[in-house]
């Protein structure tokens, strides 16, 4: 009978298994590290891109806000002038064109078309997490809050505006207001308009007083709007300086 001898393989030392484990561990660790670095780079790139886009939006917003503040202050002055005239003058004491000129401002609707697409995307999609600098996050949150306040304040004002329009239409024929609607009309054109006699739909003092009462509410609301616009402008300018400094924007 033949006897078969089995070859015996040498047993591996424990150090062999240790090095295999160590090499596997380092391979997994390096893969994890590479993935972490890639994810970190993606987040940094997004943070930089968001900062650039937000900065450009803020540049557009500041131009809009400066223009709006100038417009609202101009409108407030004219609305208050109309109220003063109603309080101190008889209807026939001054040309009807003067009544038309000052009376038209009480129903001027002032809108704030701010460029908030990037801001809303950051807030609604959780994009704020990409900003690692807390001072930037606080600046974004402050600007977002004041712009929301501006947008939310427009709805109650529309109710007063609609009532003011009804009261205005008892007195003035809006056809003649079209001639002087531009805020940039020359002083000579304004003076000529104010001295012209246009037909009034009513000469009753009580109709003028009723419209002036709505103008008082409008004046108050517009002054509140100016306060919010000024805060928004200050917040926007501070945030722009912060973004420019932290992300070295040009």
Q: What is the mean pLDDT of each run of 10 residues along the chain (250 residues)?
A: 53 63 66 55 70 90 94 95 98 97 92 78 76 87 89 75 95 90 87 96 97 95 93 95 86
Range of the domain at 184: 14-247
Report the number of distinct structural domains present in the chain.
1
Strands (E), 75-215: none
- Whether the full predicted model's pTM is greater than 0.85, yes or no, is no
Would you say residue 100 lies in a domain? Answer: yes
Distance CA 225, CA 70 (A): 12
The reply to whether 4 falls in a domain is: no
Residue 8 falls inside a structural domain = no
pLDDT of residue 62: 94
Q: In the structure encoding, which two tokens stand for residue 217, read together?
A: 């509410």
Measured between its terminal Cα atoms, the distance across the chain in Å is 94
Flag whether 1 is in a domain: no
Report yes or no on 56 lying in a domain.
Answer: yes
Assess if residue 223 is contained within a domain: yes
Sequence-distant (≥ 6) Cβ neighbours of residue 61 within 8 angstroms: 114, 115, 116, 232, 236
| CB-facing half-sphere around the CA of 134: CA atoms within 13 A | 0
The whole-angstrom separation of Cα 120 and Cα 99 is 43
Is there a domain that residue 9 lies in? Answer: no
3 assigned to some structural domain: no
């Amino acid at each position: 009978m033949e006897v078969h001898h089995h070859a015996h393989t040498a047993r591996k030392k424990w150090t062999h298994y240790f090095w295999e484990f160590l090499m596997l561990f380092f391979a997994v660790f390096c893969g994890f590290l590479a993935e972490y670095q890639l994810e970190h780079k993606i987040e940094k790139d997004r943070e930089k891109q968001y900062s650039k886009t937000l900065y450009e939006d803020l540049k557009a917003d500041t131009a809009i806000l400066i223009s709006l503040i100038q417009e609202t202050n101009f409108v407030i002055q004219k609305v208050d002038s109309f109220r003063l005239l109603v309080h101190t003058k008889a209807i026939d004491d001054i040309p009807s064109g003067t009544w038309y000129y000052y009376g038209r401002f009480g129903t001027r609707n002032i809108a704030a078309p701010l460029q908030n697409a990037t801001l809303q995307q950051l807030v609604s999609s959780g994009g704020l997490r990409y900003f690692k600098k807390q001072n930037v996050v606080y600046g974004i949150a402050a600007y977002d809050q004041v712009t929301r306040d501006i947008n939310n304040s427009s709805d109650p004002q529309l109710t007063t505006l609609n009532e003011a329009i009804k009261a205005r239409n008892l007195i003035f024929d809006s056809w003649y207001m079209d001639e002087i609607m531009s805020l940039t009309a020359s002083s000579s054109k304004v003076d000529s308009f104010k001295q012209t006699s246009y037909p009034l739909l009513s000469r009753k003092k009580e109709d003028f007083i009723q419209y002036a009462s709505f103008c008082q509410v409008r004046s108050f609301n517009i002054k509140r709007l100016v306060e919010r616009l000024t805060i928004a402008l200050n917040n926007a300018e501070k945030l722009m300086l912060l973004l420019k400094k932290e992300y070295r924007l040009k």
